[in-house]
Amino acid sequence: MTFFSILKYTFITLLSLFVIFFFLVFLHIEYSHSIQLRNMKNKLNNIPNVEVIDIWGHKDITLEEITARLRVCDTNEIVMANLSKDVFNYPEDVFINEINGYSFIVYQADCGYFNLGTKSPLHKDFGLTFYSPEDVIQNIDSIYNFVKSLKVYPEINYFCDTTAKTEMYLHVINEKSKDVDPLFSLFNIKEKIEFANTLEWKYR
């Protein structure tokens, strides 16, 4: 066997091992993501009066941004975000994408989620603190009543925490959000930032 034949077969062997390695890594990640989604779905379904309609997440090395659409007591529907253990941050961050047909566009330092957590300017006006998704579910009527009390698009809401020196503008949209990977929320972000720049800010 010539030197070049040995070189060729060595290259093919190494390439095959490389492909097999990355295929196994891919299978491991996919399996891990599947386990995380199934565990979260089971956890949410075990909350009394809750049914998981849909659950999804952004697949990276870890499964980030788990989001779930839930039916509560057969009459309420809510979409809760950032449920993954990698980004879960209650009570500081309690992200909600939609409740009973109302969705949201938030303008802060950047465009973010509708956040009822303690570090959000909304928290002072809303008044309740949540330590788990179960707390959110138990207070879904209070959340819905709070949302219904806000101005609906095209009018805009303004919230400010003078102690923390944080502020936000909020559009409440009377339509459902789309159940998609959170990365899709980055679409049209340029237009949202341009609109945010036309608003009056105290702490920018």
Summarize pLDDT for 94-142 with one digit per residue, the tens: 999 999 999 999 998 655 789 999 999 999 899 999 999 999 999 999 9
Q: Name, in order, each residue with C-beta under 8 angstroms of 167's C-beta and a sequence gap of 6 or more.
A: 108, 121, 158, 159, 160, 161, 201, 202, 203
Lowest mean pLDDT among 20-29, 149-158, 161-170: 20-29
Residue 86 vs residue 151, higher pLDDT: 151
Q: Name, in order, each residue with C-beta under 8 angstroms of 48's C-beta and a sequence gap of 6 or more.
A: none
Q: What's the one-letter identity of residue 198?
A: T
User: Which long-range CB contacts under 8 A does 113-117 form with residues at least 24 apart?
Assistant: 113/81, 113/82, 114/170, 116/143, 117/89, 117/90, 117/91, 117/92, 117/93
| Interval 46-93: pLDDT, tens | 999 999 999 987 655 444 578 999 999 989 999 999 888 777 889 999
Residue 160 has a pLDDT of 92
Instruction: Judge whether residue 27 has pLDDT over 50.
Output: no
pTM for the whole thing? Answer: 0.77
Give the domain ranges of the chain: 3-196
Joined tokens for residue 11? 């290259």
